[in-house]
Structure 1
Amino acid sequence: MTATIIFDFDGTVAVGNGPVLAYARFVAEVIGPGYLDAVAEVLQRHDLGAGRYRDGYDVVGSLARDRGVEEGVLNSAYALSRDILGKEEAAVEPAPGLITLLDSLDPSIHLELATNAPNSGVLELLDRWGIREKFSRLHFSVGKPSGLEPILRDALSRGPVLSIGDIYEFDLAPAAALGADTAFLGANATDRLPGEAAPTSTMRAHDLATLVPSIQTWATAALAQRPN
């Protein structure tokens, strides 16, 4: 039996709005004045838990579509922003608590990265942060939510699974449906509109650092299920 923890990348392993703002700047080359100010305003509200965008990329794309921008333009702008991921124009940093968590987990726990993003810049960042070797498998352009299901099924065939992410319908809903545990991060995990029910998750917090003890407890319990 092998316990597995599956991490999302953007907003989970890597945090910071640098890539999102880079994406917005490339879109702004088509839209023109006013768009970047609107993105900055809505993004600030989103980070505080106001509104119901999936993440910063959803903010940028939604505001652009409202202004008539076509999907092809958005796809090109997104690809350009990923090409500079981690550089000064699209800076990110490892989530607070991430390095501590990865260093504390038993080496027998299988760690995987599963993201809808391409691998552009990601491998370099993981190397720079000294954590690439922590992950047994790296999955890119997954096509969540449905694309996460085969990854989950494979992991569940080997033992308990915890899926960690900041977009419930992409990162966690497929895991919960298959019987895996879930850790929900970010503003949407903790800040709700009046009368709005929170999605069910095994654990939740605004940031990864807050969840480190809970994830460590989950890992200890998962290891205890191994046959002697």
Structure 2
Amino acid sequence: MKPTIVFDLDGTLALGDGPISAYARAIATRIGDDSFGERATVALIAHAAGETSYRDGYHAVATLAAEDRVSAEIVSAAYDDSRALLGTAGATVSPPEGLSGFLHGIVEHASLVLATNAPDAGVTALLEEWAIIDLFDAMHFQVGKPAGLVPILTAALARGRVLSVGDIHEFDLAPAAELGADTALVGPAAARLEVPATMRGRTIADIYERISGWATSAPHTAS
């Protein structure tokens, strides 16, 4: 039985602040405050530099909105606005360098699963554009991590070894580690957080070789 690799989307397979900036702009438009977008940009720069405790860019923007007492309804609607733009000029993202070749190289050794808290709006078109959509055995949207990731991981573990890859420890790695799966932490938090992880890198491109090694021999060394 092939092992399973469960990939997060935003900040893992799709890089760039395009959708997050669109989220901030949508909030600014809905509340009529241009300064909100400017402050969000500053927060995103600090997060990318590893200087904040935000889980990710979305958390940074949502935190600013909460501090400004923006209603949950406006924040939710602005998020939907931004996700509808995914992959367009209004919310650009890019894959980690060499992603397509990497996934095509490991698909014969591992089952690939996408699990994201994001809705599917724009995602399938994006993965088609990147010529990787056919490599995934399953794609799960609006998962509701961390709790919603548990049944996905449990089902995969019933079939064999599992590696969970993501940029938010609480959402992508902690549920996996608790169930006995291996973990890979990527993104700004990889260097900052002192949490156990089987492997880690600034982007997934930094650990292609380690993931490939895991898929073929499953080393269990923590970094």
TM-score range, shorter chain: over 0.9
Q: Which one of 194, 212, 216 corresponds to residue 212 of structure 2?
A: 216
The equivalent of 1:19 in structure 2 is: 19
Q: How far apart, in 2, do the equivalents of 1:78 and 1:167 lie?
A: 18
Q: Deviations over 1:6-42 (max 9, x none)?
A: 0000000100100000000000011503211111111
Structure 2: runs of 5+ lacking an equivalent? none
- TM-score with structure 1 setting the length: 0.93
1:95-151 residue CA offsets vs partner (Å, 9 max, x unmatched): 223223202114241100000000000000001110000000000000000000000
1:41 aligned partner: 42
Residue type at the aligned position of 1:37: E
Structure 1, unaligned stretches of length 5 or more? 193-197, 224-228
How many residue pairs get aligned? The number is 218
Is residue 184–residue 204 contact of structure 1 (8 Å, CA) maintained in 2?
A: yes
Q: Which runs of 4+ in 1 moved over 3 A?
A: none
Name the structure 2 match of 1:91: 92
Contact 2:109 2:216 in 1 (8 A): no
In the alignment, which residue of structure 2 is the partner of 1:226? none
Alpha-carbon distance in structure 2 between the residues aligned to 1:166 and 1:114: 12
**Structure 2 length normalisation: TM-score?**
0.95
Counterpart code for 2:171: F
* Aligned partner letter, 1:210: D
Paired residues for 1:1-228 under 5 Å: 1-29=1-29, 30-192=31-193, 198-222=194-218
Mapped partners of 1:146, 1:156: distance in 2: 16
Shift of residue 191 of structure 1? 2.6
- Counterpart-to-counterpart distance in 2, 1:44 and 1:70: 25
Please give the secondary structure, in 2, of the residue aligned with 1:90. coil
The 3-state SS of whatever aligns with 2:34 is coil
State the Cα distance separating 1:173 from its structure 2 match. Answer: 0.3
In structure 1, the residue corresponding to 2:148 is in which secondary structure? helix
Q: Distance in 1 between matches of 2:211 and 2:98?
A: 11
Query: Identity rate of aligned residues, in percent?
Result: 46
